Amino acid sequence: MKELEKTKRISISAVIFLLVLVIALLTYKKPKYIFLKSSEQTLQETVQKKYLLGQQEFNKDSSNFVLVDTRDLYEFNKSHLPNAVNIPLKDVLEETTIDYLETINDQGKSPVLYGTNPSEVVSVWMTLYQLGFEDTKVLAITTKNERNSLIVSDYSLEKAETDYRKTLDSLRSLKTKLEVSEKKVEKKTAPIKVAPAPKKKKSVPEGGC
């Protein structure tokens, strides 16, 4: 009898043990997407700038690339590059998008992203890169919708528009120069004095009855 009680207890605890395991397995949630690249890897790739693709490089073997427009649907519908597909940033994590990108990868092609300017596109690129789409490229162009056609121009990365130091110095020296020139100019265009026309005095009504 003693033995029986012992086995009962053991089997009950065994059942509870298994139950806990089953519950743990059921509640385990696997995240839908995971960044496969670490932040260090991403930073390295970012610094190397291998993902930037010039227009000429793209044209050389455009058959290996699939153009992806990252602007929103409205702009995409107005005009886009030929054969481009539309994947705005907000749709990147949709299942259909990921499936589509995987099929592109399986075909041995790599997606080439473009948008209004590379600075916007780079966020889409970084999302895709971290998700594991390593072959993704960014086309170094800026685009603009104008009268329902897309105007494409080359983008020079992080180019300083002016030599900052020089411009700053010239702006600072401008102050003194202009003070001098201003005086000269002022002499030339001396304000013309506008003499107010003398008003005629109203004749005083003369007396009389």
Partner 1 sequence: MSTDYKFKKFLTRRYQLLASVLVLLAVGLVLLPKRIKNDGVSPELFVNNVLSDERFISSDDLADRMINKDPSMILVDVRSKNEFQKFTLPGAINVPLENFLNEETLPYLDQNIYDIVLFSNDNFFANEAWLIGNRLGFNNLYVLKGGLNDWFSTIFNPTVPPETANKEAFDLYDFRKAAALYFGIGVYEKESAPDVRNASPKPKKVTPAPKKKKAAPEGGC
Strands 149-154 and 141-146 come out as antiparallel
In the block, which residue shows the tokens 């705005």?
88
Interface pick for partner 1 out of 1, 24, 26, 209 (rule CB under 8 A):
209
**165 counts as binding partner 1 under rule CB under 8 A:** yes
Give yes or no for residue 201 binding partner 1 (CB under 8 A).
yes
- Does 2 help bind partner 1 (rule: CB under 8 A)? no
Q: How far is the CB of 165 from partner 1 (least distance, A)?
A: 5
Q: Is 174 in the site for partner 1 (CB under 8 A)?
A: yes
- Using CB under 8 A as the binding rule, whether residue 82 contacts partner 1 is answered as no
Contact in structure between 90 and 137 (CB atoms under 8 Å): no
- Phi, psi for 156 (deg, rounded to 5): -100, 120
What binding mask, one character per residue, do residues 104-133 give for partner 1 by CB under 8 A, x or -?
--------------xx--xx--xx--xx--
| 187 belongs to the binding site for partner 1 (CB under 8 A) | no
33 vs 77, beta carbon nearer partner 1? 33
Q: What are phi and psi of 138, to 5 degrees?
A: -125, 125
168 binds partner 1 (CB under 8 A): yes
Complex with partner 1: residue 82 or 191, whichever CB lies closer: 191
Question: 3-state class of 120 per DSSP?
Answer: helix
- β-strand 110-114 against 65-69: which pairing, if any? parallel
Binding span for partner 1 by CB under 8 A among 29-37, 63-71, 79-87, 143-151: 29-37
CA distances 72 to 1, 16, 77, 139, 169, Å, are 77, 54, 9, 17, 42
Indicate whether 36 belongs to the interface with partner 1 (CB under 8 A): yes
Phi, psi (deg, nearest 5) at residue 171: -65, -35
Instruction: Please select the residue that binds partner 1; options are 12, 16, 19, 178, rule is CB under 8 A.
Output: 178
Q: Which long-range contacts does 92-100 make (Cβ < 8 Å, 24+ apart)?
A: 92/124, 92/127, 92/128, 93/32, 93/33, 93/127, 98/33, 98/131
Positions that interact with partner 1 (CB under 8 A): 3, 7, 10, 14, 21, 31-36, 38-40, 42-43, 46-47, 89-90, 92-93, 118-119, 122-123, 126-127, 130-131, 157-162, 164-165, 167-168, 171-172, 174-175, 178-179, 181-182, 185-186, 189, 191-194, 196, 199, 201-202, 204-209
